[in-house]
A and B are shown apart, each in its own frame.
Chain A
Amino acid sequence: MLLCSSPSPLPPSSSLVRAVAEEGIASLQPRCCCYRRCCLATVLPSLRMESCCLGPMEFAAAAAVGDAGRSYCRWSLRVGVFLGLWRSWPPCAVTPQVQFNTYSYVHIVMGLLCTRVFFVRIRDACVDSLALCLTSLRPVLWHLRACPSARCAFGVVTISWDPRPCGPIEGGLRATSASVERFSRRRGKRCWTGPLSRLLRSLSWSRSRRVWGVAFCGVLGARLLRLRLCVLCRVGVALYFLPSSCVVLVFVVEPVRGWVPCWASFAKLIPPYFLPGLSSREPVFVFGRSALCRLWSAALAVVVVQQDSSGSRRRVAVVAMLRTWCVIAGWFVPLVLLTMESLVEVFLVRRTVTDKFGSVLLVVVAALSTACVFDVAERVCLWCGFHRCRHVFLTQADADEPTLLMAQGLPVSGDSTVKEKPSFCSCLPGVALMITMDDGNRSNSNRRRRKRRRGIGEDFRPWSDIPLDVLCNVMRRLTVRDFVRCGAVCASWRSTMLQWQCSPMLEPPWAIPFSYGDSRGVICPPEGRLLREPSMPWEMSDDPQFPVHQLF
């Protein structure tokens, strides 16, 4: 694991942090499940070995990996966090000239386990190596590495997993945006009418004191950043306009609780008026075949900067200023997050994406594991962070169809899709960031289809005589979950699976095979499930012919 380039010994100076680390080790034995133990066992020695480049925060991090549920660690950890924060504030080492992903100091907010947030501070590391480092702390984060469009092997990452991939994400998105919309129409009054008030009632948490406290913090932060904040879904949105540049900042202050049923009701209650172009039938956003739907994540700060290639000095100065601002924003988001109590999983990444027009899309992403995303306007910039679906769409104000800027991580060549060069000035006002996954109505349409077919009824031919290789071919396209279910359908199917050695979709993000010594297994990131628990730490299996069928 490459953590950094320059060995600069930083012994765990703070006894507090060291104590936290030890407590973590001590507390992990009785409670933690196997993989956490493995994880800590892996991480700690490696951190120590490579502690030349790691500060005390890393030990805290490692401790927290091991320490799953102890609340007494929290405050000390947080102290540690603030210590770390304080020691390196302000981010003076950041200069606009430096490539954004190769800062000499990178600070990453990271909550590995519930209610834990802390900083990892690594000197002389670039984001990518950090992504590698941090994602290796937890196998469920491995999917975050898979990003072929990134220059280096371990790219960035925006979103986390959907635990139950069958809900309506687009409904959720629409609902979120709808509430934002209404909120803005009412000029900040905290009242909702119609379906939304019903919805509020359905959210039992929405009136608790804590929520309002969080909302207050959010509002405070919003004031500071001139954000417009929606209390209900706690989406803060800021739009900054400059003559040639635009900064968009979107973040979710707190994860929405109880959203699993709620988003479904959101989707039902609110008519799909938003983003008509993104109806779930549209193929553009289809995410492979899986019905990964709900966003499980995300506090996002997105900054879009245009860099003028003509390079007039003033514009360069503006861009430089914006970049600095981005850095501060990237700091601010964690700060806000730190004030919240219930952060679940935070992952912060900064990276630049340069498109073919010389503009820089600078993305600062922090992800909360249970939050939900955001949208602002009908003109949408889409940035899908997953490796399967990586499109950047920009919709101009006067155009009907979104313009594809980037597909599969590569800029679309000018002659094929992009008819005319869009200027950022005209398309960025109203830009919003959206991460979408699969169509949310799939489950609904499935249900409808099923009903219809049941109606057809009696005289259907059974599929029991389906050719086995066809069956295998179909199963190869299933997610691990569906695959396991299909194995339970009937014995002949199961024997087919075993006999033909067929395996479900195993490429990330759907599953991550690993092997270590004799122990092998598959990790299904949606739930972090191990199909076989290893007794040892993990390694990614490079074997394309990974014998998953043996695991069932």
Chain B
Amino acid sequence: MSSGDSGPSSSKQLVQQPAAAGRSPNQPPLLGAGGRKVIVLKSGDEEEFEVDLLDAMQSRTLRRAIEDGCGDGPMPLPNLTGPVLAKVVELFRRHRGDPRWADELQETEKEGMFKDYAPQKPTAEVKGFDREFVSVDRDALFDLLRAANFLEAPGLLDVTCDAAADAVMNMTVEEVREYFGLVNDYTPEEEAALRKQHEWAFQ
């Protein structure tokens, strides 16, 4: 899954390095360790993360922002906390070349920027990472879901929604309520009617 020369080590560095602050807004995007463009994401609690530009393009939100020219300074993402953003950035890095979005990227490509960026099938390693990624507790999963929704990243959304669906699967209605902390706002009659209508599903 490693694409090109920015291997795992360099990208890890990227993630962990706090970005150098105070660049002039007109400066072109920074060049990262592998000679690639990087952008800086700033979480709600003022943590900064450097992301490979191409990785950040996985998120439609970020892509729009970059195309609008906001990619020069640190990009504020007030909805996301530092730990969540760290996880997300890591996932972006691992999902490099994921066909779910790389195809989309190839279509929108204009300047040959992504030409070394062929879609690849997710390897077992990536799948393993995905599993690890969502093996978090419910609240963290919720945060990730919100982040995925905000960032509109298909890969992230897939992974997190799958996890949520897995969590719900085979639960009874009461368990779902308990799990999600929801209040039953049906009247007993309504609920009985619903259950009767699809009796087989509640057995």
Taking the complex as formed, is A492 at the interface, i.e. its CB lies under 8 A from any CB of chain B? yes
What are 24 A-B pairs at a CB distance below 8 A? A166-B170, A289-B162, A446-B167, A453-B137, A461-B181, A463-B182, A464-B183, A466-B142, A470-B148, A473-B157, A473-B161, A474-B145, A474-B165, A478-B169, A479-B169, A480-B201, A482-B170, A484-B198, A484-B201, A485-B173, A485-B176, A489-B177, A489-B182, A490-B182
Query: Which B residues are in CB contact (< 8 Å) with A485?
Result: 171-173, 176, 201-202
6 closest residue pairs by CB, A with B: A462-B181, A477-B165, A463-B180, A484-B201, A474-B164, A484-B198
B198 touches A462 (CB 8 A): no
Instruction: Assess whether A223 is interfacial by the CB under 8 Å rule.
Output: no
CB closest residue in chain A, given B142: A463
A469 to B149, CA, bound (A): 8
Closest A residue by C-beta to B141:
A463
With a CB–CB cut-off of 8 A, which chain A residues contact B127?
A: 283
A473–B168 Cα gap in the complex (Å)?
Answer: 13
Query: Please, which residues of chain B bring their CB within 8 A of the CB of A291?
Result: 169-170
Residues from chain B with Cβ under 8 Å of A477 in the complex:
161-162, 164-165
Q: Please give, as numbers and ranges, the residues of chain A lying within 8 Å of B178 by CB-CB distance.
A: 454
Q: Which A residues are in CB contact (< 8 Å) with B10? A: none
- Shortest beta-carbon distance, B78 to chain A, in Å? 16
In the bound complex, residues from chain A placing their C-beta under 8 Å from that of B157 are 473
- For residue A280, CB closer than 8 A to chain B, the reply is no
In contact, A453 and B138 (Cβ under 8 angstroms): yes
CA distance A166 to B175 in the complex (A): 15
A461 to B145, CA, bound (A): 14
Chain A residue contacts of B116, Cβ below 8 A: none
**A490 close to B183 (CB less than 8 A):** yes
Q: Which residues of B contact A152 (CB under 8 A)?
A: none
Sorting the interface of chain A by its residue count into under 10, 10 to 19, 20 to 34 or 35 or more gives 35 or more
A428 and B80 CA atoms in complex are apart in Å by: 54
Main secondary structure of the interface of B (DSSP, over half): helix
- Residues B183 and A474 in contact, CB atoms below 8 Å apart: no
Residue in contact with A289 in the complex, picked from B124, B169, B175, B183, CB distance below 8 Å: B169
Mark B19-59 against chain A: 1 for CB-CB distance below 8 A, else 0: 00000000000000000000000000000000000000000
Q: Give the residue of B137, B164, B171, B182 whose beta carbon is less than 8 angstroms from that of A446.
A: B171
Contacting residues of chain A (457-476) with chain B, CB-CB under 8 angstroms: 460-464, 466-467, 469-470, 473-476
B2 to chain A, nearest CB (A): 16
Which segment, of B95-103, B107-115, B184-192, faces chain A? Answer: B184-192
B170 touches A443 (CB 8 A): yes
**A453-B179, A485-B201 as given contacts; A467 in contact with B149, CB under 8 Å:** yes
Q: Say yes or no: is A529 at the interface (Cβ < 8 Å to chain B).
A: yes
Provided the pairs A470-B145, A470-B149, A527-B200 are in contact, do residues A482 and B182 lie with their beta carbons within 8 angstroms? no
Alpha-carbon distance between A484 and B165 when the two chains are bound, in angstroms: 13
A385 vs chain B, min Cβ distance (A)? 22
Say yes or no for B68: interface residue by CB 8 A criterion. no
Is residue B195 within 8 Å, beta carbon to beta carbon, of the partner chain?
yes
Tell me if B166 counts as interface (CB < 8 A to partner A).
yes
| List of B residues within 8 angstroms of A290 by Cβ | 169
Complex-state Cα separation, A76 to B170, whole angstroms: 43
Interchain CB contact under 8 A, B165 and A488:
no
Would A446 and B169 be within 8 Å (CB), given that A473-B157, A488-B202 are in contact?
Answer: yes
Residue A531 CB within 8 A of the other chain: yes
User: Given A450-B179, A469-B149, A491-B185, A478–B142 Cβ distance below 8 Å?
Assistant: no
Q: Is A486 an interface residue (CB 8 A)?
A: yes
